[in-house]
Each structure stands twice: as structure tokens, then as C-alpha cells.
Chain A
């Protein structure tokens, strides 16, 4: 059977399931719309949160990033999982006990100020908008590749599906579709890795393969896989795969900023408002990190296998003898080969073949030859260009797996993008309908009207996200990731922590802290990402890691300002005492 037919079957089945779940679980009240009625089981919420958290970028690009950077990519692995330890021990049990529907709700009530609420709403909208654009783009790209349609059509199809179940079903619809999406993601991610692990190391479990022996050259020549990959890396002019990064302080700060940012992301926090009580929050957090860990522990193994395999299969091979997947992905525009020294053999080594992405001269290739490119070649002797995303996308073909596995991986990519987009869309719509309309502009609207505003807001947000998905502000999107994490790390995280762990911080302190923290972080990022080409960072800390310092500035300003202004009123101090004990969260959801 043809690959396209398999793709249609898998994408069709998964979409059918998502839509079926959406119809079955559509929300009737704001309580169901915002928090799925507060009755989701910890296990189901764990799967849903894992799917919500892992975006298209994690699914498609992370393993490729690890394959390229080796040890240097550990900051993403630790940062994006370690954040859940902070999130669970310091935040979500207390916020769940507080029992309101959104994060700005807590900030507004705890700091008895609509000003603080407004700052929080703006941060939430900005963080979610940044993320959702990338997701829509990801859906568009996968669809256009799958069905040979224009990217804008792919974005529209993906947007339509997300609106259908997130806009209409609310949190309840999202939660149960995300459970299904997690299942699709985990199978499509791990199955190909298991097979490639067996080929390279003879080990069924990829995590054991990572510390095992490389046996593809025969068992008598077996060496540890890590020794093998370090050796081929240095042979080709790269640094050792396991070598330390040059700047430990920067690595430390980026890891910390990613962890803190993770713990301050509103779309992850609100997922824990859907379970019954504080005890269920703790249990659900264990499931969440467990489900995330399955994929995050597999990614480093995949990165290592794929890089070893790629070099062994490609380097110093004649082009005519290149494996079939190499030519398939060359057709897709993700691989290019330029025979710089005219010997008909592919040389892969350190350095870029040419600047930027390949620009192919003609759609048709010369019989038996590579697709010619018009890029200006670099001085490097490297002849092979590959897009890092093929580490995941081409993995089933590299492992020689049947066509339906490739279709499954494609369905997994779509699931990853849709699940994250849906979670973000919910936060965007509740920020507008609940925090902005109900709490600030029009307090007297009814439950029904509030849901209508939420649906209108999600339609509006999706339209904006789809527009930017179709017309991405080029390099802007990649740079805004630093924004999202920096903002979350310097605004939500410290403010929420102080709101829970200190009774002394008052509204003046919180607002001043947030503004100074965000101001410093944004200023630094904008300066280095947009205003100057210079990489002369302060103490070598890159913009991705500056949110860590922004957090300290937020803390310091808030403490100083609170010390010289009147303390919070008595009832706010009682509120803080109340959220510190777990009892009674079960019936506390009200609006």
C-alpha cells in the first residue's frame, strides 16, 4: 500500500477519535469549561498534562537537537523535566486549594488588586500567544508534507479541529482528547527507537542501549556506544559528544530559567485545577512527570543512535549506494549533498555545507544524481546538509520499519501540536472571558454569557495564531521562545511563590516586583535578540538564561517595597493561612 494511503488512514482514525471525544464531553457550565468540573482522575490528568506540555517542537526537534549538541543539550532535558519538581512542591497543591479557575485569579485575590490581575492577564496572553503560533505553524508543515497541500490549508485544517474540540468542549473536551493524544505520541515516539536500539546495540530497551555496546560491526568488535560516538565525532572534526560546554555559568542559568519558567507556565498550572483535591494533585503530578519521562528518557537514546547511524550509513559512501531514505528526504527538501571535491563520495564532517537552508535549483534531479542547490558554498569540506528534524521523522525508515510506522509518527507529530495548541487556547480564552470580562470589565455577566465570551475569545485567538502560522514573522518566532520562558520565570513564578510562602508581601510589592522583573528580562532579551548583533553577554549569560536573574530582581524589589508600605489586610493573611492546609479543596471551586 502507498505511504499516502497509510497516512490518510492514521490521521483519519486519530481525528475521528478526537472529534468523537469532543462531542461526548462538551462542556455545559463555566465550571466544566474552565476546570472540567474538577473531577478528572489523577491518572488521566497526568496523561493530559504530559500531552499538553510536550509540543510539536519537543516531539519533532528535541532528539535532533540532542544528536547535534550532545551533552550541551542536557539543559533542555533537565530544564523541562526538573521544572515539574518545583511546580509540584511549591505551587500547584496550594493553588488548587485556593480553588479558583485561573492563575490571574489567584494573583488578583491574593494581592487584592485589579492592577496585579491585569499585569498577570497580559503576561498569560503574551506567553500563550507566543507558543500557539509555533504550534499552528507545526501543524501546517506536517499537513503540507503529508498530503501535498499548501501550508495555509494545513494551518486552517488544524485550526478548525482545535477550535472544534477546545473552543466548544472547553477543559473537559481538551482533557480527554489529550489523553488519546498522549497515547498516540508515546507509541509513535518509542516504537521506532526500540527497533533502532535493537539494530545498533541489541538491546530492546533504548535507555539500556544508551549505556550498552555498539554491536553493528559484529559482537567481537563491540565497544560501548558512547566510546563509538565520541570517536566518530572527533574523527569528523566535531568535539566529543559527551564533552562539557565551555561556559558552565550560562549552562546553569539556562537550565534554571527553563525550570523556573516551566513552573510558571499558566497552561500547565491550570491543568492541575481539574482534579478533585490536594491529595489528587500530588498523585497526578507523579503520573505527569512519569509520562513525560518516558519520552524525555528516550530522546537522548534516539539522538545518540541516530547520529551514529547517520554517520555510519552516509559518510564516505558513494551517492548511488546511499540508502533509500536519504533520497526520499532529499526529495522532501530536508537533505542535500554537494559534491565539492567531485569524487562521487559523500563526505560528512564538522562545518556547514552552505549558509542557511538549501535552495534547490530544479524540482527534477539529474538521473541518478543529487538535487542541485544554488546556495553559495562554504570553505568547509563538509558536503552533507541535513535538517535536524529528520532524526525523528526519518527514524522509522533508517530502522527499516514498515510504512504504517511512518504514518504513526506523522500522527504523533500532529497529536503533539494539537494537544499543546488546545491547552494554550483554553488559557487564552479564559484569560479574556473570565479574568478580563468577568473580573475587571463587566462583573455582572451570567454563566452562559461568560462561556459565550470564552468561545468568541478562542475563535479570535485562533484566528490571530493561524494568521501568524501562515505568515510567520520569520526569525521572530524562534527568538520569542526565550521571551515566553523569561517572562514566566520573572513574572508568574516569583509572584506566585511570594503569594503562597509569605504573608508580608502586599500589592505594592507584588506589582513593583513583577514590573521590575519583567522589565529587566525583556530589556535584556530585546537588546540582544533584536537591537544588536553582538554576543557580548553580561557574564556570558545568554538571553535564554536571563529569566533566572529576572526572578531574583522580582523577589528583591517585592521585599523592599513591601517592607516600606503597609502590610496586607487581615483577610488576605487569613487567605494565605487557609491555602497552606490541604483540607477542603474538593468543594472549593466556585466562580
Chain B
């Protein structure tokens, strides 16, 4: 992929879209699975634990870490695509 010339506006709208997608997942795994749909999910189980309960106390936190890793990776890629890439420290 060739680096495009620096274009702040399209970079900004692309990064907003990315953050929007990641925050939807963030909302779904915590407020969704852990609180709003907890009772529904409790009929399934992971190991010996009801799924809704497990999502609230373990699963959501694991997802948060994955979301941040994805954010870091995808934003760095976006930087490079728009010609804003920086050297690793």
C-alpha cells in the first residue's frame, strides 16, 4: 500500500469510524452482556459458571484488553495509511 499524502480530514473521519466500532463492542460486552442481557445469558454456561455472570466479572475485562490492543494496532495502521506514521520510540 502506498502512503497517501497527509490528509487531516479523511484521517479524522476514518479514526472516528474506528473508535465508534470499538466503543460499540465495548458497550456490548460490558453494559450489554454484563448488565442488560445478563439474565438471558445466564442460561448458557462457560465451564461451571453462568455466562452472564462470567461476562460481568471476567469476560468483559478480557475483552477490554483485547479492544485496546486492537485500537493500538489499527490506529497505527491508519496513521501510516494517511502518512502520519511515527518512529517507534
Report A's interface with B, CB cutoff 8 A: 39, 41-42, 66, 71, 74, 77-78, 81-82, 84-86, 88-90, 93, 207-208, 210-213, 223-227, 242, 244, 248, 251-252, 255-256, 259, 275-280, 282-283, 285-286, 289-290, 293, 296-297, 300, 577, 580-583, 586
Given A42-B89, A276-B89; A286-B39 close (CB under 8 Å): no
Q: Do A89 and B49 have beta carbons less than 8 Å apart?
A: no
Count B-side interface residues using an 8 Å CB cutoff. Answer: 44
Given A74-B56, A211-B47; A82-B86 close (CB under 8 Å): no
Chain B 59-70, CB-CB to A under 8 Å as 1, else 0, gives 011101101110
What 10 additional pairs, Cβ within 8 angstroms, besides A74-B57, A82-B30? A85-B68, A89-B71, A226-B49, A227-B48, A279-B86, A286-B68, A289-B64, A581-B12, A582-B86, A583-B6
Q: Do A207 and B58 have beta carbons less than 8 Å apart?
A: yes
Asked if B3 CB lies within 8 Å of chain A CBs, one says no
Chain B 22-41, CB-CB to A under 8 Å as 1, else 0, gives 11001000110011101100
Q: Provide a sorted-by-A list of 11 A–B residue pairs whose CB atoms are within 8 angstroms.
A: A81-B64, A85-B67, A85-B68, A210-B47, A211-B54, A213-B48, A224-B48, A227-B48, A242-B50, A279-B79, A286-B68
Q: Do B84 and A582 have beta carbons less than 8 Å apart?
A: yes
Q: Interface majority SS on B: helix, strand, loop or mixed?
A: helix
Interface centre among B47, B57, B64 (most CB of A within 10 A): B57
Determine which of B36, B50, B56, B64 lies in contact with A226 in the assembled complex, contact meaning CB atoms within 8 Å: B50
Instruction: Report Cα–Cα, A286/B50, bound state, in Å.
Output: 28
Q: Do A226 and B86 have beta carbons less than 8 Å apart?
A: no
Determine which of B26, B36, B71, B76 lies in contact with A82 in the assembled complex, contact meaning CB atoms within 8 Å: B26
**Chain A residues within an 8 Å CB radius of B88:** 279
List the 8 shortest-distance A-B pairs measured between CB atoms, nearest first. A224-B48, A211-B47, A74-B56, A282-B72, A276-B89, A300-B57, A242-B53, A211-B49
Write the chain B residue with the least CB distance to A583: B84
**Chain A residues within an 8 Å CB radius of B22:** 85, 89
Determine which of B53, B62, B79, B86 lies in contact with A71 in the assembled complex, contact meaning CB atoms within 8 Å: B53
Q: Do A286 and B69 have beta carbons less than 8 Å apart?
A: yes
**Chain A residues within an 8 Å CB radius of B49:** 210-211, 224, 226, 242
Write the chain B residue with the least CB distance to A580: B12
Q: Do A580 and B34 have beta carbons less than 8 Å apart?
A: no
**Chain B residues within an 8 Å CB radius of A71:** 38, 53, 56-57
**Chain A residues within an 8 Å CB radius of B68:** 84-85, 88, 282, 285-286, 289
**Chain A residues within an 8 Å CB radius of B65:** 286, 289-290, 293
